[in-house]
Amino acid sequence: MQRIIESLNARTRYLLFLLGVGTFLAILGPYNTGGLGWPWVWIYWTGLMALGGYSGMAVSALLDRFAPDLPVWASYTIIAFLVALPVTVAVIALQSLIGPMPPIYFWPVIYGFVLVISGAVTLLAYLRDRPGQTTSTPAIGRTLTDKLPVRLRTADLFALQSEDHYLRVHTSRGDALILMRLSDAIAAAEGLEGTQTHRSWWVARAAIDHAEKSGGRAELTLTNGVTAPVSRRYYAELRDRGWI
């Protein structure tokens, strides 16, 4: 349930981001779109932003699966160029509805106009998603980060959770399930201040929001709302270190 809530929150933030960019473009009215008038110019740009945004998510998912080792800058560049394709088709279709269809020889020009917007929005998304002032990411070994989806490679590491033969990696931008042993992941994160709290969990100190304890058991609630258990084996150590 917690992961569902986190996913909904992330999608809501992304939708608000797209609406904000679309509203800004509607106010500017580039490429003579201001002549559509309100609210049609707003519907035009926010609709195109939504199409481009969700096309970008689809392209990002494909890159995560088939080209996971691409540098972040290369992934965002590819996304910008590919997202411009369906948006160009949508622009041509919309122009055909409100007037004559643009001649085929003019379609590459339309793609160029769309690519300018796509590149700018993708750059904004990159700047929004890049890590803040925290220094946790450089301390994580590439044996772990290379297995993560591109969107999570520069995120702050919150926790590691073993799930059978897989490992769920909790970060500041969501989580991902990868094929890796917990012990190997902990070794890759040795540069961070963190510790194992349970035979199936490792938690970063900076990610802890608060602790709840009862007897010899405790739970650590992270800043993203995820709850990590503390077993009796690790309780005394964490209590002595002031984590509980």
Q: What is the pLDDT along the chain (244 residues), one digit of tens a residue?
A: 444 444 545 566 777 878 888 898 889 888 788 887 888 999 999 999 989 988 988 888 787 667 766 677 788 899 999 999 999 999 999 888 888 888 999 999 999 999 999 998 888 877 765 544 444 444 677 788 888 888 888 888 999 998 877 899 999 888 888 888 888 889 888 888 899 998 889 999 989 988 887 765 788 999 888 999 888 888 888 888 888 7
Q: Give the containing element (helix H, strand E) for 126.
A: helix 107-129
Tell me whether residue 44 is exposed, middle or buried, using C-beta atoms within 10 angstroms of its C-beta: 0 to 12, 13 to 18, 19 or more.
buried
> Letter for the amino acid at 75?
S
pTM over cut 0.75: no
Domain ranges of the chain: 2-129, 139-240
The yes/no answer on whether domain 139-240 falls in CATH 2.40.50.1020 is yes
Nearest CA among 206, 200, 216 for reference residue 243: 206
Q: Tokens standing for 84? A: 């411009």
Given a contact cutoff of 8 angstroms between Cβ atoms, the answer to whether 19 and 53 are in contact is no
Distances (CA, A) of 201 to 55, 126, 133, 153, 189: 35, 30, 26, 20, 13
CB-facing half-sphere around the CA of 7: CA atoms within 13 A:
6
Residues 101 and 97: their CA atoms lie apart, in Å, by 8
Four-residue CA torsion sign, 37, 40, 42, 45: negative
Q: How far does Cα 173 stand from its chain's mean position?
A: 5
Tell me whether residue 194 is exposed, middle or buried, using C-beta atoms within 10 angstroms of its C-beta: 0 to 12, 13 to 18, 19 or more.
buried
CB-facing half-sphere around the CA of 33: CA atoms within 13 A:
25
Nearest CA among 143, 150, 156 for reference residue 74: 150
Residues 180 and 222: their CA atoms lie apart, in Å, by 22
